[in-house]
Amino acid sequence: MRRIIISVWLMTCFLMHVEAKKQIERTHDYYTEWAIRIGNSEMSHNEHLWQADFLKKPKWDYTQGLVAKSLLELYKATADERYLAYVQEYADFFINGKGEIMTYKKLDYNIDRVNGGIFLFDLNKFVPKQQYQAAMDSLRSQLETHPRVKEGAFWHKKRYPHQVWLDGLYMGSPFYARYSVEHNQPEYLKDVVRQFQVADKYTRDPKTGLNFHGWDESREQAWANKETGCSPHFWGRSIGWYLMAIVDVLDYIPQEMPERQELIDILNRVCKALMKYQDKHTQMWSQVTDRPKAEGNYLESTSTTMFCYAMAKGARMGYLPKKYLEEARQVFDGLCEHSTQLNEDGTTSITRACAVAGLGGEPYRSGSYEYYISEPVRNDDPKVVGPFILAALELAKSTPHIVVAKDGSGDYKTLQAAIDAVPHFKKTRTVIYIKPGIYREKIIIPKSKELLSIIGEDPLTTVISYDDYAGKENAWGQALGTSGSATVYAFPDDLYMENITIANTAGVDKPMKGKGHQAVALHVSSDRAVFVNCRFLGNQDTMFNYAAGARQYFKNCYIEGTTDFIFGWATAVFDQCVIHSKRNSYITAASTLQGATHGFLFYQCKLTAAPGVTEVYLGRPWRPYAQTVFMECELGEHILPEGWHNWNKPQAEKQVLYGEYKNYGKGADTDNRVKWSQQLTEQQAEEYSIKNVLEGKDGWAPQTGIIRYVPVKK
């Protein structure tokens, strides 16, 4: 039945395929449709995922893991259950109830096998099973004893001793990094970065800016240069693996980690170098990268697709200059034009894919130019299918459905008009992009607009502003009240906002009349809401974290105010944010409900104050069971020695949970803290990890950078 459905759908693609070659409209749906087309074709070509890579019998390997990862990304983007079912069938075929993986042998120390499980992180969130976690634990355990070169990089395989291949960086590092973050083991991230440091140190070529395929520490291999240990040529796909590994690993390297910039620098250097060797007619790259015009060399699709993915993601995430997004679009156009073909059965194939290449082994692979161009070329290789789907979806993420621009150059001039245009109860994510400008609007995002992303160009220039306040009268002469004063009301689940300022300017341009000077900038009731690199400006009651049970995550945000400017019932995490006090008063006023597991968590935040502000409390309880914890934060000297206030509610002293852990700075001295606050033990602090505070029953983990593209299963 699945094949029939896929075949019917694929037959409808014929005219689209022809039309795409006539005129390209780079819409969000254009890229998504390409991902769907290739994903459906892959499932049509292979009834079972283990058959990918033209296998005759099952084998746990990286190629199937790569395709599985790409199909789960496609599931996120489309909510089509067929992709999830196809991947789950594969996982359940290989992994038994104990988490043992069929055909996997840890003591082979083959780094490729680790990447075979890269898809399990997402699968285990969609379909939680103990055996999936056990399988990931087993793969992770391989890295504990996997042989290494003297400076700490993993051998490519036990049967390739003392060798580091660029391919191996993708086979181990993204899994290693994600496992470390999701299992609260950040101390291993330096080892993750070390893999790249060693590889780049010994494979980088100063002349071209590229990296050689492999390096032999022992200099014993016939392919290894006796002085440098490097293989003699630049193989395109090995560089592609290298770049994909970097952009995926960067998802998990904290911004404050100094080594992070080293990875970004490598990415920029190699991408810049690649542009010198690109074929400008097809936008593709050759099998041997630096010799595009050499006899026998050919334009190769796996490397080109990997470069496309790395450039698209790198530009979207800010690791690369924005110009690389347009480069990636052109590369994708070239791939579709010159490396795809429509088959008689309605499926689409990707052509020009090198089947395999390596160094050493039996029969011996010399790494010569002649060797690389002699390996078989085929269609539908999983090493191009997976990256193609990932590249298409990356470009879709960078191509909004709706553009808002005050000057009329977008689809709408106001954000509210754009929100109103989004269909109710849509089952996939909608992206709204806002061009710079001050948008004086009172915004309401309805509950029915789930899975909505609103992304500005820059928080300093993309501003949503209004000036209502609690004492202001409405059309009927009644005071708006605190809840009626907000600039932005956010109600839908799975809301994502980035690079935007939300401001309430009441009292700034003209004085407020009447009683009630509370003036909310953001009123957020959403569950699983994410705010990244946003600014929230106001005075009293700037941010209202509404709705008991809702979980909200703020990353690298700036929040300012005077009194109780972060308040409410929700569970909220503020991760590496700046919290700025404009007046001697109180920062938080949590209203955590009795029985709630967590309230507010401030993690690695910086607390600052305006000049002359010297007496600020960390918080006071709006309701008697308030929970607020500051962990590893820099507390300025404006924080009072007592730290907390009881709001003249002695009973609250017995019921609140006000905690601190490993804070530092002039305001972090705890000798004179109120006795009813807590200095958390290490064990208590573990209970307040971001993971524990936010994950709930659905495994929500926004700190990993994963944003949902489909609804959560109820």
- For residue 209, give its domain range: 2-397
Q: What are 481-498's pLDDT values in tens digits? A: 999 999 999 999 999 999
* Residue that is last in its domain, among 345, 366, 397: 397
Beta-carbon count within 10 A of 653 CB: 16
Give, for 71, the enclosing helix (H) or strand (E): helix 62-78
- 20 pLDDT above the threshold of 50: no
Please give the average per-residue pLDDT across 566-592, as a whole number. 98
Q: Count Cβ neighbours within 10 Å for each residue of 251-260 and write b for 16 or more, e otherwise.
A: ebbeeeeeeb
From 53, 167, 200, 527, active-site residue: 167
Global confidence as pTM: 0.81
Please give the average per-residue pLDDT across 391-407, as a whole number. 95
* Residue that is last in its domain, among 349, 364, 397: 397
What are the residues whose beta carbons fall under 8 Å from the beta carbon of 362, sequence distance 6 or more? Answer: none
- 21 pLDDT above the threshold of 50: no
| 592: DSSP letter | P
The predicted pLDDT at position 712 comes to 65
Evaluate whether residue 434 is within a structural domain: no
The angle formed by the CA atoms of residues 151, 155 and 160, to the nearest 5 degrees, is 135
Q: What are 611-666's pLDDT values in tens digits? A: 999 999 999 999 999 999 999 999 999 999 999 999 999 999 999 999 999 999 99
- 9 pLDDT above the threshold of 90: no
3-state secondary structure 527-554: CCEEEECCEEECCCCCEEECCCCCEEEE
What are the residues whose beta carbons fall under 8 Å from the beta carbon of 43, sequence distance 6 or more? Answer: 2, 6, 71, 82, 83, 86
Evaluate whether residue 340 is within a structural domain: yes
How many structural domains is the chain composed of? 2
Evaluate whether residue 643 is within a structural domain: yes
pLDDT band at residue 202, thresholds of 50, 70 and 90? very high
Amino acid at 395: L
- Rounded Cα gap, residues 266 and 210, in angstroms: 10
The predicted pLDDT at position 18 comes to 45
Q: Are 233 and 372 in contact (CB under 8 A)?
A: yes
Q: Largest alpha-carbon pair distance within the chain? A: 88
**Which residue in 490, 494, 497, 496 sits closest to 427, CA to CA?**
494
Evaluate whether residue 631 is within a structural domain: yes
The predicted pLDDT at position 14 comes to 47
Please give the average per-residue pLDDT across 165-184, as a whole number. 96
Q: Are 709 and 77 in contact (CB under 8 A)?
A: yes
Q: What are 662-714's pLDDT values in tens digits? A: 999 999 999 999 999 999 999 999 999 999 999 998 889 888 766 776 676 65
Give the domain CATH number at 228: 1.50.10.10
Lowest mean pLDDT among 20-29, 90-99, 446-455: 20-29
- 7 pLDDT above the threshold of 70: no
Could you give phi then psi for residue 158, rounded to 5 degrees? -60, -35
The predicted pLDDT at position 433 comes to 96
Give the domain CATH number at 692: 2.160.20.10
Q: Are 134 and 98 in contact (CB under 8 A)?
A: yes
Q: What are 377-398's pLDDT values in tens digits? A: 999 999 999 999 999 999 999 9
Q: What are 281-318's pLDDT values in tens digits? A: 999 999 999 999 999 999 999 999 999 999 999 999 99
Evaluate whether residue 626 is within a structural domain: yes
The predicted pLDDT at position 328 comes to 99
Evaluate whether residue 262 is within a structural domain: yes
* Residue that is last in its domain, among 371, 397, 423: 397
Q: Tokens standing for 664? A: 């530092």
The predicted pLDDT at position 706 comes to 67
Evaluate whether residue 533 is within a structural domain: no
The DSSP secondary structure of 137-191, one letter per residue, reads HHHHHHHHH--B-TTSPBPSBTTBTTEEEHHHHHHHHHHHHHHHHHTT-GGGHHH
The predicted pLDDT at position 451 comes to 95
Judging by beta carbons within 10 Å of its beta carbon (0-12, 13-18, 19+), is residue 121 exposed, middle or buried?
A: buried
- 184 pLDDT above the threshold of 90: no
Evaluate whether residue 228 is within a structural domain: yes
Q: What are 502-529's pLDDT values in tens digits? A: 999 997 665 666 666 899 999 999 999 9
Lowest mean pLDDT among 189-198, 200-209, 410-419, 471-480: 471-480
**Which residue in 274, 282, 279 sits closest to 306, CA to CA?**
274
The predicted pLDDT at position 445 comes to 99
The predicted pLDDT at position 511 comes to 64
The H-assigned helical ranges of 208-361 are: 236-249, 260-274, 301-316, 323-338
The predicted pLDDT at position 515 comes to 66
Mean pLDDT computed over every residue of the chain: 94
- 10 pLDDT above the threshold of 60: no
167 an active-site residue? yes
